[in-house]
Structure 1
Amino acid sequence: MFTHIMIGSNDLERSKVFYDATFTALGGKLGKRDGRGRLIYEHEGGRLMITEPIDGNPATAANGGTIGIAATSQDKVRAWHEAGTTHGGTSIETPPCERPNGVFVAYLRDPDGNKLTARTKATR
């Protein structure tokens, strides 16, 4: 259904440090820049793009929005969370944990305030 998710950043270098760390913790690759300078991350068939807003206004995080990222194991979720908090992200909600439906999750805000979650598939 979706081709990609695009989010804004006010500091692409800071974002690259954060997202390179979190995606490699999941087994993904470092981000690449396209011809317009946008960061592009591809992982598990999904694509996340990060850009400075084209209208010249500051980037802001979506209120109520969350970007979900698939992880293959609880260890990968923990590694993603650790990489994120070490590289400018903020841990939010609960520490990495299993939910009643068997999904193991962790939540972060990236350096620009975007809400992210890494999660495994449900075990129940």
Structure 2
Amino acid sequence: MDFEGIVCPACAFSLNEEMLEKHLKCPNCGTNLKQKKFLGFLEYLMMQGIVSNLDFFDEDLYNDERKMDEHRELLDETDPNEYEDKSEQFERYEDSVNTDKNITDESEFRAWDGVEDDWQEFNKKKDEK
């Protein structure tokens, strides 16, 4: 089995290392190999030292990753409600509670016999009836 060497990731044509050093273009299909979709291929070429005009800081290839990192940094995942002073909200709530209103009909409630009795005595009276 013959070792083919480096092949084009687009058309699988055998590529010459000297040709890749000059420009990253496939002579068979004409594909520009300096694209993000061929990143694995390009990283292999960089790690093997085949191309010297390309590095891991190339903005054409790695610009999206930098944008993603900046976007992640801008995401604020803190909840502002955890840090707000809630005492002011409670003060407003206490001010808004109106204690002048009678929620129950107190006159009927007071007329009910047994309101002043102890609940155990009231239950005994109820059982006796």
Higher share of residues assigned strand: 1
Larger Rg: 2
Higher relative CO (Cα under 8 Å, sequence separation at least 6) belongs to 1
**TM bin (shorter chain):** under 0.3
Higher share of residues assigned helix: 2
